[in-house]
C-alpha cells in the first residue's frame, strides 16, 4: 500500500542517537588502549658486522652456527651423556622450584576461569523461618501484641552491564597474568636444565684439574727433593730449594680450592635434582664422556623475541598493564546494573505461599562517579605510568637477550681459538717431555730436567682441561640464551596466548 510522505514517519537525528546509545549499552565498547605485540627489532644478526658462521677446529671439532635451524626441546641430549639425561629428567620430576612455577601457572589459570563468571548474571536464593512477638507500642498504639511465625523464600538476579568494557579489560589482564606464569614456568624449566648441564661440566672439569694438579704436585715434590740433595752437595744455591718449595706450596693450595668447588657442584646438583646433599651423590661424568655438538642452531632475531621466556614474560606484563588502563578508565565512567527479585512470605509452613504474601521487583541502577577527590583520575594515571614502566622493562629485556646471544656467539668463537692454542701448547709440551726423557735415557740431561718438562706438560694439561670445560659451558649458554627450544615440545606452538577480547599482539599507542 502506497503511503504519502505526510503519513510516513521520519527518522530524526535524536532517535538515531538513541538507537546508537542503546546499541552501545547492549553490545558494549572496551575503553582503553588495545594491546599489540611489540615488533621485533629489525636486526638480521646479533654481532656487529656479521655473526660467525663457524669456529676454528679445536680438539677435532669445528662448531658451525646454523641460522634459523630448529632448536630441539631436549637440547642437552646433544651432549650424548646418559648420566646428564638422567639427572635432568630427575630434576624435572622432583625440583621444588619447577613445581612451584607449575602451581603458580595453575593458580593463574584458575583465576582466569573464575574471571569469566563476571559476564553471567549472579543469582542468589534465600530462605528464612522466624518466630517473633510483635508489639504495636512501636507505632504509638496500645493494642496487645501478637506472636506469629514468618516463613520467607526469595530469589534475586543481578547483572552488571559491561557498557565500557571494564570487565573485559579485567579479564584481558587475567589472561596476560596466565601468560606471565606460563613464561615463568618455561624460564624455570630452561634455567633448571642449563644449571644442571653447567654444573655437570664444571664438576667434570674440576675433577680433571684436580687429577692433573696432583700429578704436578708429585713432580714438583720430586724436584724439591732433588734440589735439597744438590743444595746439601753444594751444587745449587739453597734459594733454588726455597723457590721450588714456594711453587709446590702454591700447587698444593689449589687442591683444597678445587675440592671445595667440586663439593659445591655436588651439593648444587643434589639440590637441583630435589635431594639434600646428604642423601644423594651425583654420578661421575668425565669430560671425555661428553660430546661437543658440532651443529649449533641459532634463532633469527625476529624469532628470538617470541621464544625467550623472559621476553615473553615481559611482554605479557606489559599486556596486563595495558589492560589495567582500560579497567581504570572504565571506573571513571557510569556503570549500569540490572536487577530483579521475587519473594514470598507466609505465617504457616503448610501454605507456601498465599497470594497476599507474594512480591517481586525489577529495575535498573546507574551509578555515575561525580566527585572522588581525584582518586579515579590519578589511578588511571598510575596505570598509564605502570604501562610505560612495563614497556621500558620489555625493551631492556630484549636488549639484554640480544646482548647475551652476541656474547655467547663471540665466546664460542674465542673458546675454539683458545682451545686450539692450548692443544698446540699441550702437544708441544708432550713432545718436549718425550725428547727429554729420551735424552735422559741417553745420559744427556739430568732427572731434574725430566721433572721440569713433566711439570710443564701437566700445567699445559690443566690449561687444556679448563679451555675444554669453558667451551662446553658456553655451548650450554648459547642454548639457554636462545630460549632452549621449549616451543618445539609436543603440543606447544611457541607463542604466548592472547586474550580473546583483544587483538594479539606491538606497541600500545604512546598516549593511552
Burial class (CB in 10 A: 0-12, 13-18, 19+), 69: middle
User: What is the arithmetic mean of pLDDT over 32-43?
Assistant: 90
Greater model confidence, 451 or 280: 280
Per-residue confidence at 300, pLDDT binned at 50, 70, 90?
very high
User: What is the arithmetic mean of pLDDT over 334-340?
Assistant: 92
Q: Tens digits of per-residue pLDDT, 15-35? A: 444 434 444 444 456 788 899
Q: Tens digits of per-residue pLDDT, 249-271? A: 998 999 999 999 999 999 999 99
* C-alpha cell recorded at residue 438: 729420551
pLDDT at 111 over 50: yes
Q: Where are the domains of the chain?
A: 27-119+164-333+375-488
Structure confidence at residue 237 (pLDDT)? 85
Structure confidence at residue 150 (pLDDT)? 83
Structure confidence at residue 11 (pLDDT)? 38
Most trustworthy range by pLDDT among 100-104, 130-134, 140-144, 449-453? 100-104
Structure confidence at residue 346 (pLDDT)? 82
In terms of DSSP H, where are the helices of 5-144? 13-27, 82-94, 96-115
pLDDT at 36 over 80: yes
User: What is the arithmetic mean of pLDDT over 371-376?
Assistant: 90
What is the pTM (predicted TM-score) of this model? 0.83
Query: Dihedral sign, CA of 13, 19, 22, 27?
Result: negative
Q: Tens digits of per-residue pLDDT, 172-197? A: 999 999 999 999 999 999 999 999 99
User: What is the arithmetic mean of pLDDT over 288-300?
Assistant: 94
Give the distance from CA 98 to its chain's centroid: 11
The arrangement of secondary structure in 27-119+164-333+375-488, i.e. its CATH architecture, is: Up-down Bundle (1.20)
Greater model confidence, 15 or 424: 424
Per-residue confidence at 498, pLDDT binned at 50, 70, 90?
very low
User: What is the arithmetic mean of pLDDT over 133-158?
Assistant: 78
Query: Dihedral sign, CA of 465, 467, 470, 475?
Result: negative
Amino acid at each position: 500500500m502506497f503511503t504519502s510522505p505526510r503519513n510516513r514517519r521520519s527518522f530524526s537525528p535524536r532517535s538515531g542517537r538513541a538507537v546508537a546509545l542503546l546499541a552501545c549499552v547492549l553490545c558494549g565498547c572496551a575503553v582503553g588502549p588495545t594491546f599489540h605485540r611489540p615488533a621485533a627489532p629489525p636486526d638480521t644478526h646479533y654481532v656487529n658486522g656479521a655473526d660467525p658462521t663457524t669456529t676454528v677446529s679445536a680438539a677435532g671439532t669445528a662448531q658451525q652456527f646454523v641460522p634459523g635451524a630448529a632448536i630441539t626441546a631436549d637440547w642437552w641430549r646433544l651432549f650424548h651423556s646418559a648420566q646428564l639425561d638422567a639427572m635432568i629428567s630427575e630434576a624435572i620430576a622432583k625440583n621444588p622450584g619447577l613445581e612451584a612455577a607449575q602451581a603458580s601457572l595453575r593458580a593463574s589459570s584458575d583465576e582466569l576461569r573464575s574471571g569469566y563468571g563476571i559476564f553471567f548474571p549472579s543469582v542468589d536464593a534465600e530462605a528464612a523461618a522466624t518466630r517473633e512477638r510483635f508489639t504495636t507500642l512501636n507505632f504509638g498504639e496500645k493494642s496487645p501484641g501478637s506472636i506469629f511465625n514468618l516463613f520467607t523464600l526469595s530469589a534475586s538476579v543481578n547483572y552488571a552491564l559491561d557498557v565500557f568494557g571494564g570487565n573485559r579489560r579485567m579479564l584481558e589482564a587475567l589472561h596476560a597474568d596466565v601468560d606471565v606464569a606460563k613464561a615463568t614456568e618455561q624460564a624455570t624449566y630452561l634455567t633448571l636444565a642449563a644449571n644442571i648441564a653447567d654444573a655437570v661440566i664444571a664438576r667434570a672439569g674440576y675433577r680433571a684439574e684436580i687429577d692433573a694438579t696432583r700429578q704436578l704436585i708429585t713432580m714438583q715434590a720430586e724436584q724439591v727433593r732433588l734440589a735439597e740433595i744438590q743444595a746439601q752437595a753444594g751444587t745449587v744455591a739453597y734459594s733454588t730449594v726455597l723457590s721450588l718449595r714456594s711453587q709446590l706450596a702454591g700447587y698444593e693450595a689449589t687442591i683444597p680450592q678445587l675440592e671445595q668447588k667440586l663439593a659445591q657442584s655436588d651439593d648444587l646438583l643434589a639440590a637441583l635434582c630435589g635431594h639434600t646433599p646428604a642423601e644423594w651423590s651425583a654420578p661421575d661424568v668425565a669430560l671425555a664422556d661428553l660430546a661437543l655438538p658440532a651443529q649449533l642452531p641459532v634463532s633469527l632475531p625476529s624469532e628470538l623475541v617470541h621464544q625467550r621466556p623472559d621476553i615473553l614474560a615481559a611482554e605479557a606484563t606489559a599486556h596486563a598493564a595495558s589492560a589495567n588502563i582500560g579497567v581504570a578508565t572504565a571506573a571513571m565512567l557510569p556503570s549500569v546494573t540490572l536487577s530483579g527479585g521475587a519473594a514470598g512470605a507466609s505465617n504457616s509452613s503448610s501454605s507456601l505461599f498465599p497470594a497476599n504474601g507474594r512480591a517481586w521487583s525489577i529495575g535498573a541502577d546507574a551509578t555515575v562517579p561525580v566527585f572522588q577527590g581525584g582518586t579515579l583520575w590519578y589511578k588511571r594515571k598510575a596505570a598509564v605510568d605502570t604501562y610505560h614502566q612495563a614497556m621500558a622493562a620489555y625493551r631492556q629485556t630484549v636488549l639484554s637477550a640480544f646482548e647475551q646471544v652476541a656474547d655467547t656467539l663471540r665466546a664460542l668463537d674465542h673458546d675454539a681459538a683458545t682451545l686450539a692454542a692450548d692443544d698446540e701448547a699441550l702437544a708441544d709440551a708432550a713432545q718436549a717431555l718425550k725428547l727429554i726423557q729420551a735424552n735422559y735415557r741417553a745420559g744427556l740431561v739430568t732427572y731434574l730436567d725430566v721433572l721440569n718438562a713433566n711439570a710443564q706438560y701437566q700445567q699445559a694439561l690443566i690449561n687444556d682441561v679448563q679451555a675444554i670445560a669453558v667451551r662446553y659451558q658456553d655451548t650450554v649458554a648459547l642454548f639457554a640464551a636462545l630460549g632452549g627450544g621449549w616451543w618445539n615440545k609436543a603440543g606447544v606452538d611457541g607463542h604466548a596466548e592472547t586474550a580473546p577480547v583483544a587483538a594479539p599482539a606491538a606497541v600500545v599507542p604512546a598516549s593511552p
